[in-house]
Structure 1
């Protein structure tokens, strides 16, 4: 296994807040972070996640995390919590007590992770980092509550990477500013 870290965004840019993982990768790619970790926007293509799970020593997975709580709440599931859940899924008790949504991308990701764990593909450490969505309807851009916490969400990414030793000391944290203009993302 290569000693490498990847930050992987999952999301559907055309379902508003469900695209938060993809938007995060877009902003992180502008910060120079890609010189230290691999930044990957998989969109809704879960089938390519196995490549990163197998070859990287650390994967930070970013996506909308519907749990039915206040929109914009940032959540994380560490390697230990994920191992507990994956162990249950291996015994056939596949349930999502920490997830409720009409949007299935998050549930699909968890089922996929369970399968990869059983197959031995999940070799490194994995952390899930997500934001409670408010709006999963068709459309582009993030809802107001998710947009408000987006800079904090990005800072959490940096904290996780620093904790794993993936960033040099004093690496500058770059968060998006709200701007107008054609180059601005539709946040």
Structure 2
């Protein structure tokens, strides 16, 4: 049996609901990068089943998801499971409640990840359709950069793009 990578990035969301797919989009970009063997990327989408077995026992899990917090679209938040629970109980919506459920299951099993961070992006448009709104599309590069940092990896693009001056990781092609 192949050994599991100690670090995991999980992208969650519904790509058929525009900005709700931001976590999956970020995971797609990360999965296309040359990452070391100690890092795994998992595109969970909206699949709740099996998420516990994917995250349990890891050294670090970085989740990327959409959030409804009333902030400006594209705003990025760094949350811990404690923040996530507080957001859920305060009525804010990080749609991925089953991510919290999976974390709770790992605690019950005695195999929780050592560290969990959630990078959440404020949505602007969750109507039916494919593709991110411009504000959330611009945030994807920042989320990827933050995920790389959380995973202990250097910025593979070497900083700001010479063309646009932003952290675009050299990728200026919008998701269609």
Using the size of structure 1 for normalisation, the TM-score is 0.74
Q: 1:176 to 1:139 in 2, by over 3 A?
A: farther
**In the comparison of the two structures, how many residue pairs are matched?**
164
Structure 2 residue matching 1:33: 3-state secondary structure: coil
Match of 2:156 among 145, 151, 172: 172
User: Are 2:89 and 1:96 aligned?
Assistant: yes
Structure 1 residue matching 2:151: 3-state secondary structure: helix
Say whether the 8 Å CA contact 1:2–1:55 is kept in structure 2. no
Q: 1:9 to 1:83 in 2, by over 3 A?
A: same
Q: CA deviation at 1:127?
A: 0.8
Distance 2:92 2:169 in 1: 29
Q: CA deviation at 1:34?
A: 5.7
Q: CA deviation at 1:3?
A: 6.6
Say whether the 8 Å CA contact 2:23–2:66 is kept in structure 1. yes
Q: Which runs of 5+ in 1 are unaligned?
A: 89-93
Q: CA deviation at 1:85?
A: 6.3
Describe the superposition over 1:15-69 as per-residue Cα deviations: whole angstroms up to 9, x where unpaired: 1111111101111112112644101001111222212321311110111122121
Q: Which runs of 5+ in 2 are unaligned?
A: 158-167
**Equivalences for residues 53-132 of structure 1 within 5 A:** 53-78=55-80, 82-83=81-82, 95-97=88-90, 100-101=92-93, 105-132=95-122
Please identify which structure carries the higher helix content: 1
Structure 2 residue matching 1:154: 3-state secondary structure: helix
Structure 1 residue matching 2:148: 3-state secondary structure: helix
Using the size of structure 2 for normalisation, the TM-score is 0.78
User: Are 2:129 and 1:139 aligned?
Assistant: yes
Say whether the 8 Å CA contact 2:60–2:115 is kept in structure 1. yes
Aligned-residue Cα RMSD (Å) equals: 2.8
Say whether the 8 Å CA contact 2:19–2:126 is kept in structure 1. yes
